[in-house]
Amino acid sequence: MTFREMTALAEVPPGSAPGVARPRGVGRPSTVAQYAQQIREWLQLEPTISGAEILRRVRLVGYRGGKSALYELVRRLRVPASASH
């Protein structure tokens, strides 16, 4: 019998037993997350700014991570054109 099966039989609420139904962080900590506020400000000032320009700017202030992670963050932070009107 698995631990999950035992907790189900014991009627333990989900998430209260260690290791059961708890989301966990996977992978390395984000190196780009600390730049999110600055990127958000740039996007508010210039909604059409390119991802390449944002990459150039964050590298000037110390970002040493990859461009894929940065472009993904920019994609999530960018307000769709239809929502800004």
pLDDT digits (tens, 9 = 90+) for 27-71: 888 899 999 999 999 999 999 999 999 999 999 999 999 999 999
> At which residue do the structure tokens 């600390």 appear?
34
Residue 47 maps to a domain: yes
* 26: pLDDT strictly greater than 90: no
Rounded to an integer, what distance in angstroms lies between the CA atom of residue 34 and that of residue 47?
20
**pTM assigned to the model:** 0.63
* 72: pLDDT strictly greater than 80: yes
Domain assignment of residue 53, given as a range: 3-77
Residues 6+ apart with CB under 8 A from 35: 58, 61, 63, 70, 73
Q: In the structure, what pLDDT confidence band is assigned to residue 7 with cuts at 50, 70 and 90?
A: low
Rounded to an integer, what distance in angstroms lies between the CA atom of residue 67 and that of residue 63?
10
Count structural domains, the chain: 1
* 22: pLDDT strictly greater than 80: no
Residue 85 maps to a domain: no
